Amino acid sequence: MAHPKYEPKGLSVPSGRISRLARFGGLTASVAGSMAINGGRQLASGQRPKVNDLLLTPANAARFTQQLAQMRGAAMKIGQLMSMEASDFLPPEMAEVLAHLRADAHYMPPRQLKKVLIANWGSDFLKKFEKFDVHPIAAASIGQVHRAKTKDGRTLAIKVQYPGVRKSIDSDVSNVATLLRLSGLLSDGIDIAPYLEEAKRQLHEEADYQREGQCLAQFSGFLNDTPEFIVPDLHEDLTTRDLLAMSFVDGVAIEVLTDAPQDERDRVMTLLIDLVLREMFEFSLMQTDPNFANYRYEPQTGRIILLDFGATRSFDQELVDNYRTMLRAALSGDQDAICAAAMEIGFLDENTLPKHRDAMLDMFEMAMAPLRTPGLFDFGTNEIVTRLREAGMQLGADRDFATIPPMDTLYLQRKIGGIYLLASRLGARVDVAGLFAKYV
């Protein structure tokens, strides 16, 4: 069944708790109705329908996607994460439909946008600007970005949060979790309650643009000595919890480098991998969202533009030290030390079955290949990303597997996995061992 084409357009964000709850209720009823019809058809033809097969259909995925795209906020954010990080476990048709959530979101119509701006800057806010583009240059799950020029000559990117996002986070997360439980995608042995609470906490942080502005300023300071990177300047006078004002920096998608000369691809990925190491071992502060859209490229200068610091997370020294210990053990091939460090970090625990422990250690061995390769490691010809994904799929598909690491570890692994994927996409060659030697 073909699904409707997804096209971003100006749609009001449902901001009230009742209106958002009604949309979830309508979605649940629609999906349930579809399941009943399809189940009845299968029974009539002598088949015994399975709940998962009735739920995970292209039509239901399209309903899910359309509703989350219009709601935006935490509901859409979780849908995006599902499409990015669980797509290997979903039917191909559903993964394809959910992938539309990673494209530009619907945007607020001008009337709703104006209400948000007046609420934050006052009714005379236009007196501050020479020009304010009503049509956004980007729209995502929590907010949209507008280009503007102030009367005093500053060219800015203004991130505007959708109304009602913060108030709806807790209920959105709980409602999406209910749909996930119904889908049967979650292992029976996994207690997701702590992770739902963490998801809510993280989303509340991302929805605080003043906090994001502080993280932006911190990274600007950290990278002051690294001219290869551009971090937009924070403009505090126009920043509130709902609005983030930054200097506008023009660039192109980082993926355009797939057609760049090999030396340039190698240089860019060397810088990005080194940045992850600095975030972990020097800053103890990391932008944990590996979305490729958060990296832009300035063709005229070859500099890398870093965007979106809402998911910035600090790590305590104990975690950093445990990772350093595990890396050292992996480089020396000490299996007992690797296992002990993995226990400290939380990859394994006393309840982990031997088969799962062995599978995890095998994945560590695979992931360590770039560190153990002297000189340039070729991400383009090595199948490390594919092999790790296949091993992860096999482990995740085992219903007995119920060990989920602490959230800090998950965020860190997510960032590292995203960087591996980008290096593979660009076909880069990087002296990973040389980069790690400074820290390990």
70 vs 109, more confident: 109
At CA 185, angle to CA 166 and CA 99, rounded to 5? 60
Maximum Cα–Cα distance across the chain: 74
pLDDT band at 52 (very low <50, low <70, confident <90, very high): very low
Q: How many CB atoms lie within 10 A of CB 333?
A: 11
| Alpha-carbon gap, residue 100 to 90, rounded angstroms | 15
**φ, ψ dihedrals at 226, nearest 5°:** -125, 85
Q: What is the pLDDT of residues 373-420, one digit of tens each?
A: 889 999 988 777 777 777 666 665 655 555 667 778 878 888 888 898
Say which of 172, 242, 266, 289 is annotated catalytic: 289
pLDDT of residue 191: 62
**Mean pLDDT within 100-108:** 60
| CA–CA distance, 72 with 161 (Å, rounded to integer) | 10
From residue 128, how far is each of 153, 238, 243, 328, 432 by CA, in Å?
A: 10, 10, 15, 55, 48
Is the alpha carbon torsion for 245, 226, 264, 273 positive or negative?
negative
Percent of the chain with pLDDT over 90: 36
Angle between helices 354-367 and 335-345 (to 10 degrees): 100
Q: What is the pLDDT of residue 13?
A: 53
More confident residue, 187 or 270: 270
Instruction: Report the alpha-carbon distance of residue 258 to residue 260 in Å, rounded.
Output: 6
| 289 tagged catalytic | yes
Predicted model pTM? 0.77
pLDDT one-digit tens code per residue, 344-378: 888 877 777 788 788 878 888 788 888 888 899 99
Handedness of CA 194, 198, 201, 207 (dihedral sign): negative
Highest mean pLDDT (candidates 16-25, 28-37, 268-277): 268-277
Question: CA quadruple 188, 395, 385, 408: dihedral positive or negative?
Answer: positive
Q: Does 32 or 266 have the greater pLDDT score?
A: 266
Helix (H) or strand (E) holding 112: helix 110-121
